[in-house]
């Protein structure tokens, strides 16, 4: 769509909103940006668009009247709910509404490698990006991982590759988005307050391959029923991955080695023990990344080299320090119950868990049962702490305490732990009740851990 001279409303002035407005203004659109925050709280974002004086701002609320017959399209921030008055007005008027991922994809001519799933997206995206970079290809890693797709549009050339992490919020607002290679890592209940049902959540994820055709590739997790049940839906060439069984076409484990099978030829990649990032869930991420890179032309040798050296990403099972034999790990990116369970499973031995945060409407009975198996005690934080406490009590687990701040939680967890234990921040919840995002939460956790003075002599750092 040519937006020159057309009026476009952008809802939500966060990172993607700023990048979207900039891209539209550069293309000659008449841009109106709307955000519910007052202008005084948006100074940094508004200043970032000061070179475009024609851009108009409507702040402090979401009035329906900003959308009318003169508007050609509406681009919404992924985090913006679909029931806002201006979005409802756009639907009534038949005006297209989509996210900046759709807008950016119109202008990216390089191959897109797209990654979604409930858990593992960031690790798989970063790992896949490293594989392409190590192959010598100029690679852009963007999307939900921190840099909006629309922010890289002007820099990407046709011979480059774009590796994009995409959330269900980003995908639900796409129309013609078509990656060259896509993957759905897994699907477990998440964002039920937004999607309403697991079926609708799955359908949002499935939009990643909705426009892929013959010659494109879709990768699905053969070990996850909610994901694998979609294997007959794509028109593209389907590959699968598994850490528990061999496959006719895909990536799997045989005799402790990662294997790629294209249906004709079998190629070993490397030993599982050589993979740098820990945990069974990261083995799944490694298998997915292996296929994402190999199907894009990266050599097996480069894939193996990267798997052996990739250290992981911040806020995902990130080691912080060891104090008096107690190891501290930052898993602030673990924003749902399945992620927290996998984080606990990644480490042997006794663990003290810090959990809680913004209530997304999920259930905690499965998490509570896992806590009984994997954790010695729990410190609860945030809005959802009472519901988490009820779930733990119902499961017969009573070794928990509350903390009003993350710093207090770190101090309590440290005092609950002993030498050889791990203190793990894996909240199983979003961060929005107490923090701007999971990164701020993770950084505050690390700061609090590094401030601990210890009860004796530090053994490692």
* Catalytic residue of the set 121, 195, 205, 412: 121
Q: Are residues 226 and 147 in the same domain?
A: yes
366, 342 contact by CB (below 8 A): no
Overall average pLDDT of the 334-351 stretch: 92
Q: What percent of the chain has pLDDT over 90?
A: 88
Where is the domain boundary, 279, 309, 339?
309
pTM equals 0.86
Q: Are residues 196 and 235 in the same domain?
A: yes
Task: Tell me if 1 is assigned to some domain.
Answer: no
Number of H helices, E strands in the chain: 17, 20
Task: Tell me if 383 is assigned to some domain.
Answer: yes
Query: Taking all residues of the chain, what is their mean pLDDT, rounded to a whole number?
Result: 94
For 60-96, what is each residue's pLDDT tens digit?
999 999 999 999 999 998 888 888 999 999 999 999 9
Where is the domain boundary, 40, 61, 95?
95
Q: Are residues 148 and 168 in the same domain?
A: yes
The pLDDT score that the predictor gives to residue 192 is 56
Residue 344 is part of a domain; what is its CATH number?
A: 3.90.190.20
Does residue 459 surpass a pLDDT of 50?
no
For 45-56, what is each residue's pLDDT tens digit?
999 999 999 999
The model's confidence at residue 348, banded by pLDDT at 50, 70 and 90, is confident
The pLDDT score that the predictor gives to residue 210 is 97
The pLDDT score that the predictor gives to residue 347 is 87
Reply yes or no on whether 62 is catalytic: no
* Tokens 């994997």 sit on residue: 374
Nearest-CA neighbor of 22 among 53, 49, 60?
Answer: 49
* Catalytic residue of the set 144, 282, 330, 336: 144
Q: Please give the residue range of the domain that contains residue 72.
A: 7-95
Residue 11 is part of a domain; what is its CATH number?
A: 3.40.50.720
**Which long-range contacts link 220-229 to residues 24+ away (Cβ below 8 Å)?**
220/183, 220/184, 221/117, 221/184, 221/185, 221/186, 221/284, 221/288, 222/247, 222/250, 223/284, 224/185, 224/186, 224/187, 226/186, 226/187, 226/188, 226/198, 226/202, 227/117, 227/184, 227/185, 227/186, 227/187
Reply yes or no on whether 119 is catalytic: no
The pLDDT score that the predictor gives to residue 155 is 97
Task: Tell me if 282 is assigned to some domain.
Answer: yes
Of the candidate ranges 178-187, 188-197, 274-283, 361-370, the one whose mean pLDDT is the lowest: 188-197
Comparing 278 with 331, the larger pLDDT belongs to 331
Reply yes or no on whether 351 is catalytic: no
For 368-405, what is each residue's pLDDT tens digit?
999 999 999 999 999 999 999 999 999 999 999 999 99
Q: Are residues 273 and 385 in the same domain?
A: no
Where is the domain boundary, 254, 278, 309?
309
117, 166 contact by CB (below 8 A): no
* Tokens 């003075």 sit on residue: 453
Phi, psi of 143 (to 5 degrees): 100, -135
Q: Are residues 364 and 330 in the same domain?
A: yes
The pLDDT score that the predictor gives to residue 44 is 94
Other beta carbons less than 10 A from residue 403's beta carbon? 19
Task: Tell me if 459 is assigned to some domain.
Answer: no
Q: Are residues 168 and 275 in the same domain?
A: yes
Overall average pLDDT of the 308-312 stretch: 95
The pLDDT score that the predictor gives to residue 383 is 96
Does residue 461 surpass a pLDDT of 50?
no
Structural domain tally of the chain?
A: 3
216, 237 contact by CB (below 8 A): yes
The pLDDT score that the predictor gives to residue 412 is 98
* Tokens 């009820």 sit on residue: 390
Q: Can you spell out the DSSP letters for 59-80?
A: ESS--GGG--TTEEEEEE-TTS
Q: Are residues 234 and 89 in the same domain?
A: no
Phi, psi of 410 (to 5 degrees): -60, -45
Of the candidate ranges 73-77, 187-191, 252-256, 395-399, the one whose mean pLDDT is the lowest: 187-191
The pLDDT score that the predictor gives to residue 194 is 65
Overall average pLDDT of the 131-153 stretch: 95
The pLDDT score that the predictor gives to residue 456 is 58
* Catalytic residue of the set 62, 133, 191, 315: 191
Task: Tell me if 272 is assigned to some domain.
Answer: yes
Q: Say what the alpha-carbon torsion angle 255, 260, 263, 266 is, to the nearest 10 degrees.
A: -60
Task: Tell me if 138 is assigned to some domain.
Answer: yes
Task: Tell me if 374 is assigned to some domain.
Answer: yes
The pLDDT score that the predictor gives to residue 361 is 84
Task: Tell me if 2 is assigned to some domain.
Answer: no
Does residue 21 surpass a pLDDT of 70?
yes
Q: Are residues 247 and 148 in the same domain?
A: yes
Q: Are residues 267 and 151 in the same domain?
A: yes
Does residue 458 surpass a pLDDT of 80?
no
Q: What percent of the chain has pLDDT over 70?
A: 97
Measured CA to CA, the distance from residue 403 to residue 431 in angstroms comes to 15
For 401-445, what is each residue's pLDDT tens digit?
999 999 999 999 999 999 999 999 999 999 999 999 999 999 999
Q: Are residues 192 and 326 in the same domain?
A: no
Q: Are residues 329 and 435 in the same domain?
A: yes
Residue 116 is part of a domain; what is its CATH number?
A: 3.40.1190.10
Does residue 339 surpass a pLDDT of 70?
yes
Q: Are residues 341 and 421 in the same domain?
A: yes
């Amino acid at each position: 769509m040519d937006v020159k001279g057309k009026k476009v409303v952008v809802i939500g002035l966060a990172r993607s909103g700023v990048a979207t407005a900039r891209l539209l203004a550069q293309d000659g659109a008449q841009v109106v940006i709307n955000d519910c925050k007052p202008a005084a709280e948006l100074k940094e974002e508004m200043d970032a668009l000061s070179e475009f004086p024609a851009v108009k701002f409507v702040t402090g609320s979401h009035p329906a009247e900003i959308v009318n017959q003169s508007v050609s399209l509406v681009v919404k921030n992924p985090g913006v709910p679909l029931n806002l008055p201006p979005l409802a007005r756009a639907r009534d008027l038949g005006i297209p509404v989509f996210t900046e991922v759709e807008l950016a994809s119109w202008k990216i001519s390089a191959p897109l490698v797209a990654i979604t799933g409930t858990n593992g997206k960031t690790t798989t995206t970063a790992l896949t990006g490293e594989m392409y970079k190590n192959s010598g290809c100029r690679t852009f890693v963007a999307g939900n991982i921190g840099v909006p797709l629309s922010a890289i549009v002007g820099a990407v050339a046709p011979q480059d590759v774009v590796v994009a992490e995409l959330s269900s919020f980003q995908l639900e607002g796409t129309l013609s988005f078509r990656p060259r290679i896509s993957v759905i890592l897994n699907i477990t209940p998440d964002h039920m307050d937004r999607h309403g049902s697991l079926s609708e959540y799955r359908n949002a994820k499935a939009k990643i391959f909705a426009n892929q055709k013959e010659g494109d590739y879709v990768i699905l997790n053969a070990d996850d029923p909610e994901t694998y049940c979609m294997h007959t839906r794509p028109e593209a060439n389907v590959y699968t991955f598994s850490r528990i069984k061999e496959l006719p076409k895909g990536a799997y484990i045989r005799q402790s080695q990662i294997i790629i099978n294209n249906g004709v030829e079998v190629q070993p990649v490397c030993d599982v023990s050589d993979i740098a990032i820990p945990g069974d869930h990261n083995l799944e991420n490694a298998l997915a990344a292996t296929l994402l890179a190999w199907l894009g032309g990266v050599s097996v040798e480069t894939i193996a080299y990267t798997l052996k050296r990739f250290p992981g990403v911040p806020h995902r099972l990130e080691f912080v320090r060891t104090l008096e034999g107690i190891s501290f790990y930052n898993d602030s990116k673990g924003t749902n119950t399945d992620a927290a369970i996998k984080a606990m499973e990644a480490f042997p031995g006794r663990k003290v868990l810090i959990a809680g945060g913004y209530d997304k409407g999920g259930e905690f009975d499965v998490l509570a049962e896992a806590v009984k198996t994997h954790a010695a005690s729990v410190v609860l934080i945030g809005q959802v702490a009472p519901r988490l406490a009820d779930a733990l009590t119902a499961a017969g687990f009573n070794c928990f305490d509350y903390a009003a701040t993350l710093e207090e939680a770190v101090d309590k967890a440290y005092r609950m732990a002993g030498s050889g234990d791990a203190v793990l921040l894996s909240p199983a919840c979003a961060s929005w009740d107490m923090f701007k995002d999971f990164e701020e939460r993770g950084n505050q956790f690390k700061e609090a851990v590094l401030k601990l003075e210890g009860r004796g002599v530090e053994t490692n750092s």
